[in-house]
Structure 1
Amino acid sequence: MSVRKLFARKPEPLPDTFTLDIGGEEIPVRVTRNARAKRYLLRIPADSRGPVLTVPQNGTFETALEFAERHRGWLAEKLKQRPETTGLREGASIPLRGVEHTIVRTGRLRGLVEVTDGGENPEIRVPGAEEHLARKLTDWLKREARADLETAVDRHAQNIPKKPSGITVRDTTSRWGSCASNGRLSFSWRLVLAPADILDYVAAHEVAHLIEMNHGPRFWALCRRLAPHTDEARRWLKHNGSRLHHIG
C-alpha cells in the first residue's frame, strides 16, 4: 500500500438531509457523496422527493451548505416550475396511454380494474377499499406497461439479429429504459402513462442497444430505422416526462 493511500484523509460524515429556507418554506435537501464527482452539484431529480446536493469525495458539509445558499434563487425558480404531484386517489386525473382518465372507485370489494374509454370522460374504475386503491392501481398500471412493452420490444426485435434475454419493469427515476450487457432490458412502468408512440420509441431505443451499446451515429441510425418518430418522441419526453414522474 502506498504512503498516500495509507494516510489518505477519510471523508467527513454527511447528514442525510438538511433544510433550506425558500420563500419562508423549509425545503428538505437530500445529501449524497459521489467519489466520481468533480464539483458540488445541486439538482432536482425527476422524482417528487425534492432537491439533491451532491458532494465530491473530499468535499465538506460546510462548503456544501455555502454552495446551496449561493444557489438558493436558482432552486426557488426550479421548484416553482416543477409539476404538482398527482396522487393515485379517487377523483384524480391521470393519463393512460396519453389520454386523461379519472380514477373512480367501483364500490365493490372484489373485481378487476376496468377502463371505460367511451364518451367524453374516460375512467379507470378500481375495486376495493379506499386505502388499497393506490397499490391496486399501481400494480395494474405495471402489468399494463409490461404487456405494452413486451409487444413493442418483440416487434422491434424482429428487425435485428439479436434478441433480448428478458424484460424488467421498474419505477426508475433517472432513465426511461436501459439495456444490460447480458441483453436484459429494463423500463419504467410510467411509460404506460405516455402516448403509445412514446413507449414504442423507448422500446426501440433499448432494442437498438442490443446491437450498439453506445449513443454513436450508428446507434441513432438504427434507432431511427426502428422508430422513425425518434426525434419527436425525444422532444416529447424532454418537455412532458417530468409530469409522469410526479404521478403516484
Structure 2
Amino acid sequence: MSAAGAMQLSVGRDRTVSVTIRRSARAQRLILRLDQTGTVTLVLPLGVRDAEAQSFLKAHAGWLESRLEKVPERLAFAADAAIPYRGVEHRIRHRPTGNPAQRRGVVWLEQPQEGLAEGPELHIAGPAEHLPRRLTDWLKAEARRDLATRSRHYAAQLGRQVGRVTVRDTRSRWGSCSSKGDLSFCWRLILAPDFVIDYVVAHEAAHLVEMNHSIRFWRLVDQLGVDRQRAQRWLKANGPRLHRYG
C-alpha cells in the first residue's frame, strides 16, 4: 500500500466500496471517514502495515454499511431534473437548438408565466453531453459573484477589507478565512436559501476581526444582522443534501 492509494471493501452481500488510503505522519491511530458524498477514506499512521489496515476495514464493515445507507442518493444534472437554486426548486430544461434571445448565453433563467402552475426553470443550450458541465460552471460563476459581493458588504460593516474570494467543492466546511483575509466558500451554497448564504458569509467576514469562535466573535456575527440560529438549523438538517447534486 503506497502513501496514497485505494482498496476495495465488501459491505453487505452485494455491495463493494472503494476506500481511499492516506498515510499521515500526524495520525496517531487508524481513522475511517465517510463524507456527505459517500466517499470513504482510511487514514493510517506511518508504519502501519497493509494487513493491519485490511483487518481494521473488515472489522468496521458493518459500521460503514449502516452509515452508507444514510448517505443521500446522487442526483445528476440532467434534463427535467430539479435543483434548489438559491433555495427555490428550478427545473432543468435542455435546449439543443440554443437560446432564442442569444444575448443570454448558454445557461439562462426562465420565470413561470403568470397563471401557470410551473415553477422557474434553468435552460441549458447545446449538446446534451455538455449540459452537466455547463450547468456546473454556471452555478460556480453565480456563487463566485454572489459570495464576493456579500463578502465585501459584510466586511465593510466591520471596517475590514476582503482579499481574494474563491469557491471550491469543499466537503467538511462551508467557508473559511485565511490569516491574509482571503475567503473561500463551497460553491454549493448557491443552492441554499439567501438567509443561509448571508449567515455563512457573515460568519467568515467576522473572522477578519476574530480568528476564533469566542463570545466576541459570535457577537460580531449577530451584529451583522443575519438569522444565525435559523441558518444553523437549516444547514444541520439540509446541508448534507446539497452535496448530492451534480
Question: What TM-score, normalized to structure 1?
Answer: 0.89
> For the residues of structure 2 that align with 1:142 and 1:39, how far apart are their CA atoms?
37
Residue pairs, 1:91-102, within 5 angstroms = 91-102=80-91
Distance 1:74 1:227, change over 3 A: farther
Q: 2:71 aligns with which of 58, 82, 88?
A: 82
> For the residues of structure 2 that align with 1:45 and 1:59, how far apart are their CA atoms?
23
Q: 1:31 aligns with which of 2, 21, 34?
A: 21
Q: 1:151 aligns with which of 149, 152, 175?
A: 149
Q: Deviations over 1:164-209 (max 9, x none)?
A: 1121122222221111111111111110001111111111011001
> For the residues of structure 2 that align with 1:219 and 1:182, how far apart are their CA atoms?
18
Residue pairs, 1:95-174, within 5 angstroms = 95-109=84-98, 111=102, 112=105, 113-118=107-112, 119-174=117-172
Distance 1:57 1:217, change over 3 A: farther
8 Å Cα contact 2:22-2:44 kept in structure 1: yes
8 Å Cα contact 2:37-2:71 kept in structure 1: no
Aligned residues: 236
8 Å Cα contact 2:36-2:71 kept in structure 1: no
Among all aligned residue pairs of Structure 1 and Structure 2, give the percentage whose two residues are the same amino acid.
44
Structure 1 stretches of 5 or more lacking a match? Answer: 1-11
Q: Deviations over 1:37-88 (max 9, x none)?
A: 221111112335x211111223222222222112111111111100011111
Q: 2:214 aligns with which of 216, 233, 236?
A: 216
Question: 1:202 is matched with which residue?
Answer: 200
> For the residues of structure 2 that align with 1:146 and 1:86, how far apart are their CA atoms?
22
Structure 2 stretches of 5 or more lacking a match? Answer: none
Give the counterpart letter for 1:28 in structure 2.
S
Give the counterpart letter for 2:108 in structure 1.
E
Give the match's secondary structure for 1:81: coil
Question: 2:60 is matched with which residue?
Answer: 71
Q: Report the alpha carbon displacement of residue 97 of structure 1 after superposing the two structures with TM.
A: 0.5
8 Å Cα contact 1:91-1:104 kept in structure 2: yes
Distance 1:109 1:122, change over 3 A: closer
> For the residues of structure 2 that align with 1:29 and 1:13, how far apart are their CA atoms?
13
Give the counterpart letter for 1:77 in structure 2.
S
Asked if 1:60 corresponds to 2:60, the answer is: no
> For the residues of structure 1 that align with 2:72 and 2:225, how far apart are their CA atoms?
29
Question: 1:244 is matched with which residue?
Answer: 242
Give the match's secondary structure for 2:157: coil
Q: Report the alpha carbon displacement of residue 117 of structure 1 after superposing the two structures with TM.
A: 3.2
Give the counterpart letter for 1:231 in structure 2.
Q
Q: Report the alpha carbon displacement of residue 126 of structure 1 after superposing the two structures with TM.
A: 0.6
